[in-house]
């Protein structure tokens, strides 16, 4: 790579157009990025993980991070492989840390932050690695200090300069409308999101922000709630279309559903700890529990409607005054957090056609 990488490797004439709009880009790649260079750009980090630490190897890594990094990103941008940059830099940081080179580990981590922050301009247009990404990097970042002396005649920040990378680790973009729900996978490696847009459900790599799976399409309304199964293999989603769906988290194929039964938008969904059941809450004021595989009802629990607790057939069970509704334990709830807590005892509760048993002569009534 050291001999092959250079500034503007494909001789791009303008920064006005994206890579995709360069009509002869494939020819330029063929002429200026030989196969052995493309291979090295893709796999160098994999080879590094198998290399023993030596001063020579460390010197090569230092030269790459301080001199060739931007040129490498050019190649990845041109061949549509920017998604491998972050994993390569993170593995380099790990290798340097194990090799007791904290300086190079931090430099690789800073480079990774640079890539994740400016992933979109880097991916879409090679010139903007230099005209957008470096100029707008925080002034005290390692990337800025290393490369800003090479950058000139670009937009600069006159007021409001940012000196350090923001504490936000990543900004994931891709949805075209409001994102209603997000959740981490159990291992923390992926993020699922549900949106009002036509892509509805997407899975993202939590470190790089790249699309890991999706879009999962099937809902006919915006997705309001998403969650991973405990084993991370499935995703459940609830929607304004009043249905619940279960998806294969890796392929996006429908694993079960749609589960139909709610009469209003589904606002919240979750898997049970064993992954065998799904619970959903809706604007129709009901909570429904489903078999995660078949979608059959296990039970429906109704919430209060103007103070009335109703069953699944909207039949009146009892009316509770407001001062007892706050902090109320619902059936099967283990705990309620708050200053005021109310727990009801249903052991002698009569209702429906048995309601007349609630009144008797005092000595016959069990209190």
Task: Give the pLDDT confidence score for residue 231 in this predicted structure.
Answer: 93
Whether 309 is covered by a domain: the verdict is: no
Q: Are residues 298 and 328 in the same domain?
A: no
Task: Give the pLDDT confidence score for residue 22 in this predicted structure.
Answer: 92
Task: Give the pLDDT confidence score for residue 164 in this predicted structure.
Answer: 87
Task: Give the pLDDT confidence score for residue 304 in this predicted structure.
Answer: 57
Whether 312 is covered by a domain: the verdict is: no
Whether 207 is covered by a domain: the verdict is: yes
Task: Give the pLDDT confidence score for residue 305 in this predicted structure.
Answer: 59
Q: What range does the domain containing 330 cover?
A: 317-367
Domain with 291 in it: what CATH number?
Answer: 2.130.10.10
> Which stretches of 50-84 are DSSP H helices?
55-63, 69-78
Q: Are residues 188 and 112 in the same domain?
A: no
Residues 341, 333: Cα–Cα separation, whole Å: 12
Question: What residues contact residue 241 under an 8 Å CB cut-off, 6+ apart?
Answer: 219, 220, 221, 258, 265
Contact between 159 and 145 (Cβ < 8 Å) = no
Q: Are residues 63 and 123 in the same domain?
A: yes
Q: Are residues 234 and 136 in the same domain?
A: no
Task: Give the pLDDT confidence score for residue 338 in this predicted structure.
Answer: 47
Q: Which of 308, 215, 305 is nearest to 264 (CA)?
A: 305
Residues 330, 325: Cα–Cα separation, whole Å: 10
How many structural domains comprise the chain? 3
Q: How far is CA 327 from CA 70, 286, 308, 336, in A?
A: 57, 18, 16, 6
Task: Give the pLDDT confidence score for residue 363 in this predicted structure.
Answer: 60
Q: Are residues 27 and 145 in the same domain?
A: yes
Q: Are residues 186 and 267 in the same domain?
A: yes
Low-confidence ranges of the chain (pLDDT < 50): 332-338
Whether 86 is covered by a domain: the verdict is: yes
Residues in the chain: 367
Whether 198 is covered by a domain: the verdict is: yes
Residue 21, burial from CB neighbour count under 10 angstroms (0-12, 13-18, 19+): exposed
Task: Give the pLDDT confidence score for residue 120 in this predicted structure.
Answer: 86
Contact between 45 and 91 (Cβ < 8 Å) = yes
Q: Are residues 64 and 138 in the same domain?
A: yes
Task: Give the pLDDT confidence score for residue 295 in this predicted structure.
Answer: 75
Question: What residues contact residue 355 under an 8 Å CB cut-off, 6+ apart?
Answer: none
Whether 183 is covered by a domain: the verdict is: yes
* DSSP letter string, 253-267: -EEEEEEE--SS-EE
Residues 38, 79: Cα–Cα separation, whole Å: 8
Task: Give the pLDDT confidence score for residue 334 in this predicted structure.
Answer: 43
Whether 285 is covered by a domain: the verdict is: yes
Residues 300, 284: Cα–Cα separation, whole Å: 12
Q: Are residues 335 and 264 in the same domain?
A: no
Q: Which of 30, 55, 31, 40 is nearest to 5 (CA)?
A: 40
Q: Are residues 114 and 53 in the same domain?
A: yes
Task: Give the pLDDT confidence score for residue 361 in this predicted structure.
Answer: 67
Task: Give the pLDDT confidence score for residue 142 in this predicted structure.
Answer: 92
Q: Are residues 55 and 102 in the same domain?
A: yes
Q: Using one digit for the tens of pLDDT, what is the confidence trace for 21-51? A: 999 999 999 999 999 999 999 999 999 988 8
Contact between 182 and 237 (Cβ < 8 Å) = no
């Amino acid at each position: 790579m050291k001999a092959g990488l250079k500034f503007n490797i494909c001789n791009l004439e303008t920064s006005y157009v994206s890579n995709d709009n360069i009509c002869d880009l494939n020819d330029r790649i063929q002429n200026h990025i030989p196969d052995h260079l493309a291979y090295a750009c893709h796999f160098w980090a994999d080879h590094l993980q198998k290399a023993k630490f030596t001063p020579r190897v460390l010197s090569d890594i230092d030269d790459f991070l301080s001199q060739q990094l931007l040129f490498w990103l050019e190649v990845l941008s041109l061949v549509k492989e920017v998604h491998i940059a972050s994993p390569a830099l993170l593995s380099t940081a790990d290798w340097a840390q194990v090799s007791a080179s904290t300086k190079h580990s931090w430099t690789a981590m800073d480079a990774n932050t640079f890539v994740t922050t400016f992933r979109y301009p880097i991916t879409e247009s090679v010139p903007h690695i230099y005209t957008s990404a470096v100029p707008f990097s925080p002034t005290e970042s390692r990337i800025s200090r290393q490369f800003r002396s090479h950058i000139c005649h670009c937009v600069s920040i006159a007021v409001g300069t940012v000196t350090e990378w923001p504490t936000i680790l990543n900004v994931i973009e891709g949805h075209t409308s409001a994102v209603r729900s997000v959740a981490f996978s159990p291992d923390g490696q992926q993020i699922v999101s549900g949106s009002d847009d036509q892509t509805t459900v997407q899975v993202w790599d939590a470190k790089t922000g790249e699309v890991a799976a999706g879009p999962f399409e099937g809902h006919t309304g915006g997705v309001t709630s998403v969650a991973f199964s405990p084993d991370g293999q499935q995703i459940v989603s609830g929607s304004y279309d009043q249905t619940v769906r279960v998806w294969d988290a890796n392929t996006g194929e429908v694993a079960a559903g749609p589960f139909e039964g709610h009469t209003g938008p589904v606002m919240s969904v979750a898997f049970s700890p064993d992954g065998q059941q799904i619970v959903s809450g809706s604007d129709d004021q009901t909570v429904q529990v489903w078999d995660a595989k078949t979608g059959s009802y296990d039970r429906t629990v109704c919430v209060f409607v103007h103070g009335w607790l109703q069953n699944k057939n909207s039949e009146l069970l009892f009316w509770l005054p407001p001062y007892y509704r706050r902090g109320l334990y619902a059936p099967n709830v283990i705990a309620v957090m708050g200053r005021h807590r109310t727990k009801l005892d249903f052991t002698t509760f009569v209702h429906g056609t048995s309601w007349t048993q609630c009144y008797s002569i005092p000595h016959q009534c069990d209190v």
